[in-house]
Structure formats: C-alpha cells, structure tokens
Amino acid sequence: MSKNNEFKPNDYSNITLDDLKEDFKNNNNPFPIEVFPTAIRDFILNAEDTLNFNRDYFSASILSALSLAIGNSFRLKIDEGWTPKCILWIALVGDSGDGKTPPLKEAFSPIDNKENELYELYKQELENFNQNQQGLKVPIAKRYIVRDFTIEALTEKLSQNPKGIGILADELLGWVKNMGKYNNGSDVEAYLELFNGGKITVDRVGRTIIIQDAFVNVIGGIQRDKLHEVFKKDFDANGFIFRILWVDPGQLPFVPENEMKLDIEHKKNYERFINKLFEERENPKNRHLILSAEAKKLRRQWWNEFGEKHHYDELYIKGTYRKIREYFNRFLVVFTILECVDFELQHEATKDKDNLQVTKASVEKSITLAEYFFRNAIDVRSYKKNPLDAKGTIYKKWYLSLPKKTLGTNDLIQSGAAVEIKQRTVEKYIREEEYFENTGHGKYKRKL
C-alpha cells in the first residue's frame, strides 16, 4: 500500500469501554460504537469532538452506509434456504434541529463520490453513443442512492444495479406517507417483500419489472412529535412498523460550537473501508458466510434465550423481538465482512472471501447491537402510548395547565404567553390533531 493510502487507526485507540460508557452517562442506551473496528470508532469520536455530530446518529448512519456497500455481495448461510443478507431499515428520531442530516450526509459521502464517478462515466458513454449509435447500447445512469422516487423508479434502479441500492430520506415520514398514495396500498406490500430481499414483481400499465434478488436499504430522519403518524393501526397489523430499527438518543444536551477541525486521516480510513467493500461489488458471485462452531453455538443460545424471554410479552414487544432476531442475523454479515476488511487494511493482505467464517466476536457484537435496537424500539413505542412524552418540558407544562374545555384562540395565545410561548408557536400547536380538537369557529379543546 502506498504512503498516501496508508491506513492509520490512531488517536482514540486506547479508549476503553468504560470510557465510552462514561461519555454517555446522560444516555441510558447509547449506540455501542465498540462494535466497529477501531478506525471507524476513531472517526465517530473525532466527528463528535470537532463537528458536534451526535454519536448515535452518526454511528447508525455509518452502519447503514457499510451495509449498503456490502449489498448483495455476501449473505449468511444458517441452513438450506435460510440465507439472510444485511438489509437495514433505520429511522433517526429526534426533534427539529437536532442535527440528524449532517452526520447522515457525512456517512454516505464516500458513496456519493462513487455515484459522481458513475455519472461522469455515463456522460462519456452518452457522448460516444450520440456520436456513433451503431452497435452500442443506450447508456444508463446507474445509482447507489435514491432520494425521490416511486416504487417503479426504485425497481428500475434495482434492475440496473443488482448489488443493491439505498433510500436516503431527510424526512422518513414522506417515504411512509407516499406508500400506496396512487395505487391503493400496493406499495406497502412491495416494500414488505423488499425487506425480505427476495423476488419482487412490479406490474404497471404497459410494463413489468421483475427483480429476482432485491437489496434495498432505507435510512432517514423523523421528528419525535410525528411518530404517531407512523404508528398506525394498519402498520402494526401488517408488521411494517416492526421492520424499522429506531435510533433515539433522547433529549440532546446543548453543545457549543468550537474551532476544532476534523482529522482528515480518520475520514480517509473510513473511506478505505467503503472502497474495499465496493471492490467486492465487482465480483459477480453472491458469496455465503458460514458460522464457525463457536459462533454457531453462541448464536443459537442467544436466539433461543432472547425469544423465550419475550415470547409471552404484549403484541408490540413480540412483533419487535421477532424482527430484531432477524436483524441479528443481518448484523452477523456486516461484522464478519468488517472484520475481514479491517484485517486486510491493517496487514495489507488478502483473505479468501469465498470461505469466510463468522467468528464468536462477530456474534457478540451482533448481540450487543440487536439489544440496543430492541431497547430503542420499546422506548420509541412509549411515545405512542403517551404522545406528550414527545414534547418538551415547557409545552407539557402549558398543555397540562389548560382546562379540559373548549377555549378560543385568544385564550390559548394568552395562556401560552404566560409561560413564554410565542403566539405563532401556539397557533402552530393548536393545529396538531394529535393534541387538539378543532370544535369550529376558532375554538379548540385539548384531547389528552
């Protein structure tokens, strides 16, 4: 490896798990960044110090980007016919202005760069085609990431990039709301099949698109006070809601701006991981990972104990634990490949990727991450049970002080002013149907 491409996991290498836990003393369920290789963990810590990135948001975004980079290249062989791949659907939960988008963009910037390279290649191919069409196929602008799409456009991109694509949505609620908007809900069924990574057929007027081996990742942000719009009865019934991995760091502390600069070496190290993973996308094979004897024993032990512990819980917990166990298998793919790439980068070596085994260490990391996401899913669900938990202290104090009777807009504005809530903010609040009933003629009544 040349000096310019030297791999340098430094600076934070002596950080211990106790140090990480101390850093998160105000977060009861921090993202366990110790599951990542040291170089990626260093990048997360440095971005937190210099860019004020929330560690949970950035870690989850990196996890999503890494799994997308792996795509259909590898899958886990648990048994004949049971071969999960690392498809992840992640929602970053927070209040408006919590800074969910910047870490998401940073995590996906190496993949964006690769898309830019593809686009430049497409422009050259298009120019050649326009100059001499004879014997040439019409060039295609391939994509790894989509942001604005229909299910038809999504399957079209999948047909052009069978190793997998990712949906990035700054506002994940828009993705959910658009499902079935124009076709009576059939999009929801299509997405449920996409989650499984199997065959999907989309029939539209004059055209049929068939994807034999789909891989679609999803990640985006959602405001905490909008969660009730996702936790709909029908999404519970069809199991859609259980397929989402929730990341909610809770109330974020104020972090002052500083003059520190991101260490470019940490960014480069992370990019090297992404680039190595994309090299494997060029391999036409879809390779299988096998569990070592130790890994197989530990995996089955956790699978059974976790299932027995939650099998008789209430419906939402039962639905959640079953999907978390599915994700546990998907995490095994991510951590096995990361372990391999980390070794290759540090030792300038090449491993036989046709015969990779899942190690006990990868199982332990997958257990840690699965339980993190399980706790988050339960916490996020609590906002549905008590929507006021999604609001700040001042809002709750004001709201609960209101009498349970019909009030005029001016009365509500005056009561808001008493606790220093501005008029335009009160006017915004009273339009939220989750909290207020509009009784007509400028009068409202609190619902909760």
Residue 342 contacts residue 334 (beta carbons within 8 Å)? no
- 386 pLDDT above the threshold of 80: no
Question: What is 348-383 written as a DSSP string?
Answer: T----GGG-EE-HHHHHHHHHHHHHHHHHHHHHHHH
Structure confidence at residue 182 as a pLDDT band (50, 70, 90): low
Q: Is the pLDDT at 74 greater than 70, yes or no?
A: yes
pLDDT digits (tens, 9 = 90+) for 318-377: 999 999 999 999 999 999 999 999 999 999 999 999 999 999 999 999 999 999 999 999
Query: What is the DSSP-derived secondary structure letter of residue 139?
Result: P
Task: State both tokens at 357.
Answer: 């085994």
Q: Which two tokens stand for residue 193?
A: 């099949």
* Residue 2 pLDDT > 80: no
- Distance (Å, whole) CA 358 – CA 306: 20
Query: Residue 269 — very low, low, confident or very high, per pLDDT cuts 50/70/90?
Result: very high
Angle at 329 between CA 327 and CA 333, to 5 degrees: 110
Q: Residue 26 above 50 pLDDT?
A: no
Would you say residue 292 has pLDDT above 60?
yes
Average pLDDT of the residues of the chain:
86
- Nearest CA among 145, 153, 137, 142 for reference residue 107: 145
The reported pLDDT for the residue numbered 105 is 96
* H or E element in which residue 272 lies: helix 264-281
CA atoms within 13 A on the CB side of 140: 10
Average pLDDT over residues 286-295: 95
Task: Compute, in degrees rounded to 10, the torsion defined by CA atoms 40, 56, 178, 174.
Answer: -110
Q: In the prediction, which pLDDT does 324 show?
A: 97
**Residue 150 confidence (pLDDT):** 77
Write phi, then psi, for 357 (nearest 5 degrees). -115, 145
Q: 407-408 and 145-146: which strand pairing?
A: unpaired
Cβ pair 92, 138 in contact under 8 A: no
CB 54 within 8 A of CB 264: no
H helix runs in 100-140, sequence order: 101-131
Best CA proximity match to 434, nearest among 444, 424, 422: 444
Q: Point out the least confidently predicted range of 25-34, 307-316, 350-359, 370-379.
A: 25-34
Each residue's pLDDT tens digit, 123-175? 988 888 888 766 677 888 888 999 867 788 888 888 888 899 999 988 888 88
Instruction: Specify which residues 91 forms β-bridges with.
Output: 220, 246
* Position 220 pLDDT exceeds 90: yes
What's residue 323's pLDDT?
96
CATH architecture of 391-446: Orthogonal Bundle (1.10)
The domain limits of the chain are 3-387, 391-446
Q: 112 pLDDT band (50/70/90 cuts)?
A: very high
Q: Compute the average pLDDT of residues 401-420.
A: 89
Question: How open is the CA angle 165-168-170, to the nearest 5 degrees?
Answer: 175
Supply the pLDDT for residue 7: 46
Buried b (16+ CB within 10 A) or exposed e, 283-298: eeebbebebeeebbeb
Which residues is 207 bridged to in the sheet? 204
- The pLDDT of residue 62 is 98
Give this prediction's pTM. Answer: 0.81
β-strand 207-211 against 74-77: which pairing, if any?
A: unpaired
pLDDT of residue 93: 94
Highest average pLDDT, of 28-32, 91-95, 148-152, 328-332, comes from 328-332
CATH architecture of 3-387: 3-Layer(aba) Sandwich (3.40)
10 confidence band (pLDDT: 50, 70, 90): very low
Does 238 score more than 80 pLDDT?
no
Between CA 43 and CA 58 the distance in angstroms is 10
At 398, list the tokens. Answer: 């004001």
